[in-house]
Amino acid sequence: MTQVRVGTHDWVASQNSNALTSESYDFADAFDRVLAGNKSYARRCGEHEPQLWQSLAKGQAPDVLWFGCGDSRVPETTICDCKPGDIFVHRNIANIIPQGDLSSESIIDFAVGAVKVKKIVVCGHTKCGGAVNSLTDADLGPALNNWLQPLRDLRRKHQAEIDALDSIDDKANRLAEYNVRKSVETIVSNPTVQKAMAERGVTVHGVLFDIVTGELKVIDADDGESLSAAPWSHR
């Protein structure tokens, strides 16, 4: 029997010291493993924070709307040491926010317009498969070719700079950063976001998650070009 060992957040330790522990699950079947993991999670919640789900059952009031990549290594609630109810989430391949995309614009209308989040975060990450596969125009199938088109266009726009970098990692990471900047621009130009920025001081932030260190880097608007309308986070 294959042992599936998956690191999990230790409930008690995480409340106090941000310590991480791992828990072992002995299942050959990955679906059995996630069901067992949920049972364990629900039991720990019941023991240590029984009011959490009772409170969340009454409604949600997250402060943050997060746009991220669907990559399994970048689970926003885990990497930001948050809890269920803290972050409203939209994730897709390579955190691309195309102009006119019905899915992401619906998320914005709901999370910003109705739920009234205070912060919008776009998170790219290093070693992103979507960015790596946008360094060329290789045929990945009609849907994926179409989806990655904005990222491939962005690569063409910065082709000379990206070509000058040494490694595939460096090239993909630079493209991922440009993609975050582009997505922030798109979000800031959204009418619902514009209204929320003017009326409630909502801010939009770009970050890049480093898969190697597990840390977020804030992307500053250092070029000051078309991002001047966006109240970027500076640290």
Which of 128, 196, 197, 230 contacts Zn ion by CB under 5 A? Answer: 128
Nearer to Zn ion, 8 or 179 (CB): 179
Give the residue among 10, 23, 83 at the shortest CA–CA distance from 53. 83
Nearer to Zn ion, 197 or 219 (CB): 219
Query: CB under 5 A: which stretch of 14-22, 23-31, 64-72, 142-150 binds Zn ion?
Result: 64-72
Query: CB under 5 A: which stretch of 29-37, 127-135, 161-169, 185-193 binds Zn ion?
Result: 127-135
Nearer to Zn ion, 71 or 76 (CB): 71
Looking at residues 129 to 148 of the shown chain, list those that interact with Zn ion (rule: CB under 5 A): 130
CA distances from 80 to 51, 175, 196 (A): 21, 23, 24
- Closest CB 74 distance from Zn ion, rounded Å: 7
> Distance between CA atoms of 233 and 219, rounded to whole angstroms?
8
* Residue count, binding to Zn ion (CB under 5 A): 4
User: Which residues are registered as beta bridge partners of 4?
Assistant: 25
Contacts of 172 (CB under 8 A, 6+ apart): 126, 127, 128, 131, 132, 134, 135
- Closest CB 4 distance from Zn ion, rounded Å: 23
Nearer to Zn ion, 198 or 212 (CB): 212
- Closest CB 94 distance from Zn ion, rounded Å: 5
Which of 64, 66, 68, 71 contacts Zn ion by CB under 5 A? Answer: 71
Phi and psi angles of residue 130, each rounded to the nearest 5 degrees, phi first: -65, -40
Binding mask 10-29 for Zn ion (x = CB under 5 A): --------------------
CA distances from 1 to 14, 26, 31, 40, 46 (A): 31, 8, 15, 21, 31
Give the residue among 210, 205, 212 at the shortest CA–CA distance from 234. 205
Which of 69, 180, 184, 188 contacts Zn ion by CB under 5 A? Answer: 69
Contacts of 147 (CB under 8 A, 6+ apart): 92, 93, 96
Residues that bind Zn ion (CB under 5 A): 69, 71, 128, 130
